Amino acid sequence: MIYSKNGMCWCGSKKKYKHCHYDFDQKLLELKLKGEETPPKSIIRNAMDIKAIKESAKINTAVLDAVAERIHEGMSTQEIDDIVVSVTHAHRAKCAPYRYEGYPKSVCTSINEVVCHGIPDPNRILKSGDIVNVDVSTIYKGYFSDASRMFMIGEVSQNAQNLVEVTKQALQAGLDAIVPWGHLGDISHAVQTVAESHGYNVVRVFGGHGVGKQFHEEPFVSHVGQAGTGMILAPGMTFTIEPMINEGTFEVVIDQDDKWTTTTKDGKLSAQWEVMVLITEKGYEILTQ
């Protein structure tokens, strides 16, 4: 589509196109003509979108902070769900996972060999030695945010501690690889390099995702890949980086009864950290963590 320079910009900013995304579009066009994969306009946020997403993200972080303050040995994963619901609703927000594609709870609690999508349960009690990922997603005034943290309960084995720490290092490596107008594959390669250098494996079938106006949007953020490949990282994109790193094989199994709980195929440990980022002209900004 051709836009008039003096017309309103396609992004909804209510600014003239020439003063908003004209130069941006020219750069994308140049890259596209070189054969690069460029992001669709639907996932480029304007200033109003970014402000609204940040409001949602602030609540998401507050919810995770509340979990961090209260999580302890002897509590059930259902109690974690109760905390998430209470704090989210206190901020007049909604829990994005609740009833999403049939998911029955408001948060994911994934323990030890559970890779992701662990369902809170009043009978699943946290024990000393457990490592647990708590994945919180929030909707506020129609805008979405998403992040998760790992928690180590009581006396945790050295192997488990190492996995949790290396996974966090891999996430940071992915963040450090972000360069505006760089490639999504730069993130993927950095995460994979750190994980595999410590003898771990990266889950392939799940990854990060665009998030903001919807719970899951483009792009899919793989945590394995080659630098210099994949979608261009254009300013205005918001997405998660959330490597799931396994102690053993990268292969996983989805529970055939609940259709959600995903475990490592070999029963070994898995860990995950997740942040939501905004690509800016100078680099990136972490929105949730």
Residue-level pLDDT at 17: 84
Does the 45-288 domain belong in CATH 3.90.230.10?
A: yes
Contact, 76 vs 126, CB < 8 A? yes
Side by side, the strands of the sheet bearing 270-272 are 201-202, 244-246, 270-272
Three-class secondary structure of residue 168 per DSSP: helix
Residues 6+ apart with CB under 8 A from 205: 252
Are 89 and 138 spatial neighbours (Cβ–Cβ below 8 Å)?
no
pLDDT in tens, 52-92: 999 999 999 999 999 999 999 999 999 999 999 999 999 99
Domain boundaries, the chain: 45-288
Distance CA 51, CA 190 (A): 29
Task: Convert the pLDDT of each residue in 172-191 to its tens digit.
Answer: 999 999 999 999 999 999 99
DSSP secondary structure of 27-80: HHHHHHHTT-B---GGG---HHHHHHHHHHHHHHHHHHHHHHHH--TT-BHHHH
124-166 pLDDT per residue, tens: 999 999 999 999 999 999 999 999 999 999 999 999 999 999 9
Which residues have a Cβ under 8 Å from the Cβ of 248 and sit 6 or more positions away?
A: 201, 264, 266, 267, 268
Nearest to 37 by CA among 169, 220, 206: 220
Q: Return the DSSP state at 120.
A: P
- Give the model's pLDDT for residue 186: 98
Is the model's pTM score more than 0.85? yes
Structure tokens at 286: 């972490």
Rounded distance between C-alpha atoms, residue 173 and residue 187, angstroms: 8
Q: Does pLDDT of 236 surpass 90?
A: yes
Which contiguous run of DSSP H or E holds residue 195? helix 184-197
Token digits of residue 51: 């402000």
Q: How confident is the model at residue 268 (pLDDT cuts 50, 70, 90)?
A: very high
Cα–Cα distance, 117 to 86 (Å, whole number): 20
CB atoms within 10 A of CB 138: 29
Mean pLDDT of 256-280: 98
State how far the Cα of 168 lies from the Cα of 27, in Å rounded to an integer. Answer: 34
For 248-260, what is the HEC assignment? CCCCEEECCCCCC
pLDDT value of residue 284: 98
